[in-house]
Structure 1
């Protein structure tokens, strides 16, 4: 037998308890065939020696938004704004590129504005209108849970008409006199997006190509696309087709698991003896369900938005926890309707991934999962709470008792930590984006970036989980620190389990996929993980990145 690939390094961290380390690994047909003495005497078509480097299982980003980020790369970037004068300068430059005869339906698109970076102020609508005129504007907030628009856009969505009412789950923000400010929150964004979307498949495939090329440079081999097919998070009702096309054209450079948004699921009917038939069930057409697909592309959990975000002041938090005045946030729907639809999805076999950042939303998420599991039993894949941003101690214990996987973003601690601290009561800051207490309670602690809210540098995120230091140097509750091995497992073993992928990834074992991340040193012994470089990334034994 001749191997396709033989890799060697100073250390191979398999994260397999039966064989935790090795020095050589052999690959055939995209899968691991053995280590060290198991492959003695075998030749290989290609041999690579990474010297003192360290090979680990491929890194997993369990919750991100690849299409959204890929599309951002072609839009105006407002992430670097530090004062409103800079905002207007970028906007003016963007307007200057509009052709003298603009295409009908053309919008000015931008992304990643964060009011905390510009003195906690949003730009005034009057000044935006002066610069943009009659060309509609849509700039998505860094959190994704709000957007800045101009009066041209407000007219298009009818928000300037008498009798206009906010949509369910969203707000067109207004000043004291009742005039719109140009800020759309949550589901209100969809009113503007209805005039922008859908993007053509060709642009979505281009976005995936650009985004996942960059994923590979961060050592990422698998990721979860946290919301497709409907709602403000979606860019086309046929996003799954964009992923299929990207795979067929060789332009998807990491393995993807896709989460349909709850609103993309429709009523199912079948024979009364089927689980679809006896009670209300919702799912995708033809009864296609979670787990459908292959190693490159498959369906995962159903994504359910319960509330907004702390930095956009739309997370549903208790009044006693909140320090930002009237902005206590809100649930994005009625609890009774959430209950009906989530139970209908769970009954049809869809594990739940419930977006819940504020403690009120976390209460609802825990209630929904508890009822689903009690009524219909456990599925083969654990239910999840995405973000778990501000959690009371008893909520952590309940998550553990229910066997829930908690999916926070440890990178938020560094990049957004000071903003998060400013958004809650000082007595509650220790409840933000927990780590140690989640593990100790028995819940799964899963690694994710929420890209493009922040970047997907997993090494930085692992450091943040270990150190819990904000960008200003402040430590956010040292009691929630985890160790380096746990930080690595968040993005490998534990992430694979939470996504139902443990059979073929998360650890390096014979028969599993040959997905590797190669570090310049050992992430378990280096002074920081951020100091390490990604030397190479392999998916199925093929390099997707080489330094």
Structure 2
């Protein structure tokens, strides 16, 4: 039986230029069949259609988080939850309590968190502290993807001692005696993950299902999963086959970039598929590479040296030559590339690689992306636009981490961080999409919307107010613009006849609430393909 429904008496912000505001929509077989006023739309409703009176509520297109590691939202009970700790003592107490319930010798993993901005001490935990909290278990505490902590047992299992050299593109932090502190940067983390058992496909399947359900509670109907290995893709495929996906997922595959160029060529060709393989529910959206670290960690690769250290320009995860070789080889095999680049020097290197690929075959229309581009400059954005490259950014980094960025990079650089106004002016709104980088930042889209509109962080401190955007621009970049990243702009992102019926009903009027209360908006109902997947 084909599902039909009609929503009336609403305030639809459609983002469709032909009908920007409507009061009703008709839905059949998961798509909008009519958008307009109540009387007109009701003529399209079949005799068996369910009619939902919205009571004047505001409705927006479903959020499309264009950078979200959503499986982390489904790990409750499986990892040490460090999201709410505020001091080193609190973190160690939470770890101690979790470890008490685990068998001796088994690995203990932490959730994504950010000690420099989150803890009062603004530092990472040491191996000695972790040894005390977890004397019987190896511990692995990842942060926002570029730094991790481990204890003595973890270092021992990874074979890391005083004689272990730093791997290419990574650093083993050491004390004055040359002993590893337990803090690992970039590819040094791989030394631990190589020996630590990963999640099974079944466990990942459960995490994705729970994570997508949580995303639905925030009105998120699509996510771009920016870094997945084969096991994670397989887990999503199982959910797709069983009809259990409650949001649409674009996937960026993450093959090992440390291999030789010949092996890289064989790897990206051996799959037999390439970018855009899939459907409206699950789609391969390209390959993800990482070129540098992060601005909250003082590891973003910068043209100028970091304040206080005339020789520190951040960290490159690979040489510029290797990056270019990987990009060109993948492009030759029909893969779209999205490359993590935060610092301005990293953006330079990524654009060099994209230009090399463009000389082999034009990349315009392939949706190549600068992922983050947080400290990119106008001339770099203009260079990217000329290539047809898009920008996938996350203004919400400033919401809770602006003070940390300011401490590491200075006020002037923080003011120009995540320059959304400049980006939209240069790229055009369709090529600038917003996301969260969850779990590095909170999943709630409304914090990111408020930050983009006000440029004030959670403390109320303003950074670069000239980079603020309008409410409609912010909303569009969080919905319609994200559809362009996966070549889905003709089927989703706006409330338009013929498009997928993905939308969110809000607790208040997004355009009418005070700008400093956008973060307080809630989603009361989320609909994906005409089916209610969340109701408050």
Is the structural similarity TM-score above 0.5?
yes
Structure 1 residues 498 and 267 mapped into 2: Cα distance closer, same or farther (>3 Å)?
Answer: same
Q: Is the 8 A contact 1:304 1:352 kept in 2?
A: yes
CA deviation map 1:171-191 (0-9, x unaligned): 111122211111011111111
What SS does the aligned partner of 2:435 have? Answer: coil
1:334 corresponds to: 319
What SS does the aligned partner of 2:519 have? Answer: coil
Q: Any residues of structure 2 matched to 1:281-320 within 5 Å, and which? A: 283=268, 285-320=270-305
CA shift at 1:323, angstroms? 5.1
TM-score after normalising by structure 1? 0.90
Distance in 2 (CA, whole Å) between partners of 1:13 and 1:493 is 12
Segment drifting more, 196-205 vs 519-528: 519-528
Distance in 2 (CA, whole Å) between partners of 1:124 and 1:153 is 12
CA shift at 1:322, angstroms? 4.0
2:8 corresponds to: 8
> Is 2:481 the counterpart of 1:488?
no
Q: Is the 8 A contact 1:462 1:488 kept in 2?
A: yes
Return the match for 2:244 from 251, 254, 267. 251
2:43 corresponds to: 40
What SS does the aligned partner of 2:23 have? Answer: strand
> Is 2:425 the counterpart of 1:448?
no
Return the match for 2:499 from 503, 512, 515. 512
> Is 2:378 the counterpart of 1:375?
no
Q: Is the 8 A contact 2:15 2:494 kept in 1?
A: yes
CA shift at 1:299, angstroms? 0.5
2:534 corresponds to: 545
Superposition CA RMSD, Å: 2.5
Distance in 2 (CA, whole Å) between partners of 1:205 and 1:325 is 47
Structure 1 residues 265 and 86 mapped into 2: Cα distance closer, same or farther (>3 Å)?
Answer: closer
Q: Is the 8 A contact 2:285 2:485 kept in 1?
A: no
- Point out where structure 2 has 5 or more consecutive residues left out of the alignment: none
2:403 corresponds to: 418
Q: Any residues of structure 2 matched to 1:522-537 within 5 Å, and which? A: 522-528=509-515, 529-537=518-526
Distance in 1 (CA, whole Å) between partners of 2:523 and 2:438 is 19
Q: Any residues of structure 2 matched to 1:427-506 within 5 Å, and which? A: 427-443=412-428, 444-506=431-493
- Point out where structure 1 has 5 or more consecutive residues left out of the alignment: 230-236, 270-278
Q: Any residues of structure 2 matched to 1:194-205 within 5 Å, and which? A: 194-205=194-205
CA deviation map 1:517-546 (0-9, x unaligned): 111333223223323221211111000111
CA shift at 1:504, angstroms? 0.5
> Is 2:133 the counterpart of 1:140?
no
Q: Is the 8 A contact 1:400 1:438 kept in 2?
A: no
Aligned residues: 525
TM-score after normalising by structure 2? 0.92
CA shift at 1:502, angstroms? 0.5
Segment drifting more, 385-394 vs 453-462: 385-394
Distance in 1 (CA, whole Å) between partners of 2:353 and 2:126 is 40
Return the match for 2:130 from 119, 128, 131. 128
What SS does the aligned partner of 1:537 have? Answer: strand
CA shift at 1:226, angstroms? 0.4
CA deviation map 1:314-348 (0-9, x unaligned): 22123445457876421101111111111111122
CA shift at 1:365, angstroms? 1.2
Structure 1 residues 113 and 498 mapped into 2: Cα distance closer, same or farther (>3 Å)?
Answer: closer
What SS does the aligned partner of 2:380 have? Answer: helix
What SS does the aligned partner of 1:283 have? Answer: helix
Return the match for 1:242 from 235, 246, 269. 235
1:184 corresponds to: 184
Q: Is the 8 A contact 1:149 1:182 kept in 2?
A: yes
1:355 corresponds to: 340
Structure 1 residues 9 and 463 mapped into 2: Cα distance closer, same or farther (>3 Å)?
Answer: farther
What SS does the aligned partner of 2:360 have? Answer: helix
